[in-house]
DNA sequence: ACCGCGTATGGAATCGATTCCACATAGGTA
DNA sequence: TACCTATGTGGAATCGATTCCATACGCGGT
């Protein structure tokens, strides 16, 4: 590795002067500047960001903690983040907890040890130790997707969007609506979306029959199984089913199709997330589109605000959503 | 930020001793060790990786350059990379060129300035300046998806897989097979897959009629347009169409369905990539599954081999693929 | 003649770790 | 007794940049 010292020697100036040329700061004669630039050019010298940031305390790197790499949500989120960060010259240091909760704290520390300028956490399940770890961190921080008190949050309106969708189904004439959810420990997807459904039904005085509410996991197969449960064990067969993710909805559709029933004539289906699949599956799935890229951009902006001197206090940015009506209803 | 100096003072030892405790190296009395660990515990001290790597020349960070974030391919590749890297304690520094070729060189330099231990490039179009930049880099390096002479490569067998698929179609009885490709500047997807098709047809003495070969881009709409071109301008209407990506194939399917024709009875369709969509679209799409996660793992291994002392020379690891037969044929 | 100021440059401290080397002590062996 | 070795510790150089401060020169104003 060629260093600033070598450049200085070759250009017959001091390291100070080389530094000034690189950073375009202070006084440097055209004469000296030209010599330095020439040597840099010739040698292909690239300054060490490490040495630099050791002094300046800035790395232009933002740490991102994802619960799962390789999901459409993560990938859209990262896209939004990158749009803003790239423009400002920041890079993303990626970590992936693979849904192991202890890793979140581990990675927080690791990112701190790497002196990232800020951290963005896309969380699933929050707990007290995690909150505590974040508070001690003292680094610009933003959480996406789950509410954490006292911190900058970028949230989706899980409750309202879910409610919107159920209201929409009711307006379309469906009254017997079954539900496929996930574990309520996931406050956003599990708890809030379920409550949106429950409240929408209640507010419309619609009963929820035995067997209509099922709990699955985040994959297509689980949607299939849940739908089977609904069909096998419901006292009244529902005329519609609302699943809290598109994948669950698609699994449900598979089961419905297999039993020879028609969507939406026999049973209507709705999902959430506006995944690519939802567009191309047939019939195309009615769903809620959360603007995930926008959430990424917003999170990036919030973290940069803090990096540039803003202090960190509770902020809640709720990202818009929209209902996409398609032929599954 | 609390530093090693402070720990040393509080524990009444020298920085040297603290360092020895942290790294479990050299001689330290149990007595001193205990004191140091206690202070570290109390203060929540996290050593600076920056300062460390300034001396040790190792960062445990691998730079990854992607042509597009937020595609299924990128995301599966990164997943594979992360599986191996996480196990070895490496993190991923992500950069995204958004298909701007100049950025590839820019990011190579940037990653070098950040002292990544290695670089993985998922390239689309290679050119001479890029090759030159990589050669000068002198950092462990692996390229995925496109062949680059003299470097460690992880490749998919684009030519053979494409040929396999066309042979399969022919064996199924389809003789009039149209083709939707992409720009041949993309050697893998554009050039090699096209040649696989052309050679398969030639080897079976099957003529390719005027209008059967179309060139699109990487999105669904383009597949739709290309299919329209085929139907409108072919002298003989084909009985099957082979698209070099699933998205193109799905676009083609949309057009075919719109014209009221049936898949596969009137026209059979095949794609490549084994995207999620291909599974759930109906009819389900016959396609080629490249083991992209495995490519990621292999690339990670290759780069780690170099990091751990292996020298960099031309290596070609061809990742397996398999044909997935589904109902679109 | 002196002061002040803009311009130009370099010496040396600094950031937070690692690591080489010198040194001290205690116990075992020839 | 003299010497060697294992154990334990710290001083100081080092990594590659930035930045504070001192210095020097030339020129205009008083």
Q: Write down the domain spans for chain A.
A: 4-47, 59-156+292-319, 158-290
Q: Is the pLDDT of residue B126 over 90?
A: no
B57-156+292-318, CATH topology level = Rossmann fold (3.40.50)
Q: pLDDT tens, A82-96?
A: 999 999 999 999 999
What's the sign of the alpha-carbon dihedral B198, B199, B201, B202?
positive
Mean pLDDT of chain B: 95
Q: Check residue B154 and give its pLDDT.
A: 98
The reply to whether A76 touches chain B by the CB within 8 Å rule is yes
Mean pLDDT of A8-31: 94
B99 touches strand C (CB under 7 A): no
Q: Check residue A292 and give its pLDDT.
A: 97
**Alpha carbon A125 to chain centroid, angstroms:** 13
CB proximity list for B240: less than 8 A, separation 6 or greater? B169, B174, B176, B177, B178, B264, B267, B268, B269, B270, B329
Q: pLDDT tens, A230-267?
A: 999 998 999 999 999 999 999 999 999 999 999 999 99
Mean pLDDT of chain A: 95
Q: Check residue A33 and give its pLDDT.
A: 96
Q: Check residue A305 and give its pLDDT.
A: 95
What would the 3-class secondary structure string for chain B be? CCCHHHHHHHHCCCHHHHHHHHHCCCCCCHHHHHHHHHHHHHHCCCCCHHHHHHHHCCCCEEEEEECCCCCHHHHHHHHHHHHHHHHCCCEEEEEECCCCHHHHHHHHHHHHHCCCCEEEEECCCCCHHHHHHHHHHCCCEEEECCCCCCCEEEEECHHHHHHHHHHHHHHCCCCCEEEEEECCCCHHHHHHHHHHHHHHHHHCCCCCCCCCEEEECCCHHHHHHHHHHHHHHCCCCCCEEEECCHHHHHHHHHHHHHCCCCCCCCCEEECCCCCHHHHHCCCCCEEEEECHHHHHHHHHHHHHHHHCCCCCCCEEEEECEEEECCCCC
Q: Is the pLDDT of residue B218 over 80?
A: yes
- State the pairing for strand pair B287-290/B321-324: antiparallel
Report phi then psi at B107, rounded to 5: -70, -30
Q: Check residue A227 and give its pLDDT.
A: 97
Positions 16-45 in B, CB within 7 angstroms of strand C: 16, 18-20, 22-23, 25
Report phi then psi at A13, rounded to 5: -135, 180
| C-alpha triplet A248, A250, A253: angle, nearest 5° | 115
A28 touches strand C (CB under 7 A): yes
Report phi then psi at A94, rounded to 5: -95, 135
Mean pLDDT of A150-178: 97
Of B54, B74, B95, the CB nearest to A51: B54
Positions 288-317 in B, CB within 7 angstroms of strand C: none
CATH architecture of A4-47: Orthogonal Bundle (1.10)
Q: Check residue A105 and give its pLDDT.
A: 94
Q: Check residue B235 and give its pLDDT.
A: 87
Nucleotide nearest B56, from its CA to each C1': C18
Distance B27 CA to D5 C1' (A): 14
Q: Is the pLDDT of residue B309 over 90?
A: no
Angstroms from B51 CA to nearest CA on chain A: 7
A189/A145 Cα distance (integer angstroms)? 9
Q: Check residue B123 and give its pLDDT.
A: 87
The reply to whether A133 touches chain B by the CB within 8 Å rule is no
B48/B54 Cα distance (integer angstroms)? 10
Mean pLDDT of A294-321: 94
Mean pLDDT of B51-67: 95
Q: Is the pLDDT of residue B125 over 90?
A: no
Q: Check residue A1 and give its pLDDT.
A: 83
Q: Which CATH superfamily is domain A59-156+292-319 in?
A: Response regulator (3.40.50.2300)
Lowest pLDDT segment from B208-217, B294-303, B310-319: B310-319
Ramachandran quadrant class, A173 (left: phi over 0; alpha: psi -120 to 50; beta: rest): left
Q: Is the pLDDT of residue A311 over 90?
A: no
Check A46 against B113: CB less than 8 A apart.
yes
**Alpha carbon A187 to chain centroid, angstroms:** 15
How many Cβ atoms from other residues are within 10 Å of residue B169's Cβ?
23
Q: Is the pLDDT of residue A125 over 90?
A: no
Check B281 against A276: CB less than 8 A apart.
no
Q: pLDDT tens, B77-90?
A: 999 999 999 999 99
Nearest-Cα residue of chain B relative to residue A108: B46
**Within this chain, domains A59-156+292-319 and A158-290 share the same CATH topology:** yes
Contact residues, chain A, for B95 at CB < 8 Å: 91-92
CATH architecture of B158-290: 3-Layer(aba) Sandwich (3.40)
């Amino acid at each position: 590795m060629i260093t600033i010292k070598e450049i200085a020697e070759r250009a017959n100036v001091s390291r100070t002067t080389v530094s000034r040329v690189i950073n375009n700061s202070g006084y440097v004669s055209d004469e000296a500047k030209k010599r330095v630039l020439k040597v840099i050019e010739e040698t292909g010298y690239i300054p060490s960001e490490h040495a630099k940031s050791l002094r300046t305390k800035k790395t232009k790197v933002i740490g991102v903690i994802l619960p799962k790499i390789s999901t459409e949500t993560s990938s859209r989120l990262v896209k939004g983040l990158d749009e803003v960060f790239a423009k400002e010259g920041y890079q993303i240091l990626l970590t992936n907890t693979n849904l192991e909760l202890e890793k979140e704290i581990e990675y927080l520390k690791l990112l701190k040890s790497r002196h990232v300028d800020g951290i963005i956490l896309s969380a699933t399940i929050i707990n007290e130790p995690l909150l505590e770890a974040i508070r001690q961190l003292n680094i610009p921080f933003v959480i996406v997707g789950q509410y954490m008190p006292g911190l900058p949050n970028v949230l989706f309106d899980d409750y309202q969007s879910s409610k919107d969708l159920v209201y929409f189904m009711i307006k379309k004439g469906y009254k017997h609506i079954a539900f496929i959810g996930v574990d309520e420990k996931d406050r956003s997807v599990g708890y809030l979306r379920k409550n949106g459904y429950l409240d929408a039904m209640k507010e419309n005085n619609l009963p929820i029959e035995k067997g209509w509410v099922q709990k699955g996991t985040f994959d297509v197969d689980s949607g299939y199984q849940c739908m089977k449960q609904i069909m096998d064990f419901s006292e009244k067969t529902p005329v519609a089913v609302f699943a809290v993710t598109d994948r669950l909805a698609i699994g449900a559709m598979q089961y419905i199709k297999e039993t020879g029933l028609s969507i939406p004539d026999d049973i209507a289906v709705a999902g959430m997330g506006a995944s690519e699949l939802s567009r191309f599956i047939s019939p195309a799935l009615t769903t809620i589109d959360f603007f995930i890229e926008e959430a990424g951009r917003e999170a990036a902006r919030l973290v940069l605000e803090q990096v540039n001197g803003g202090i960190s206090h509770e902020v809640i940015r709720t990202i818009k959503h929209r209902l996409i009506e398609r032929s599954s209803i």
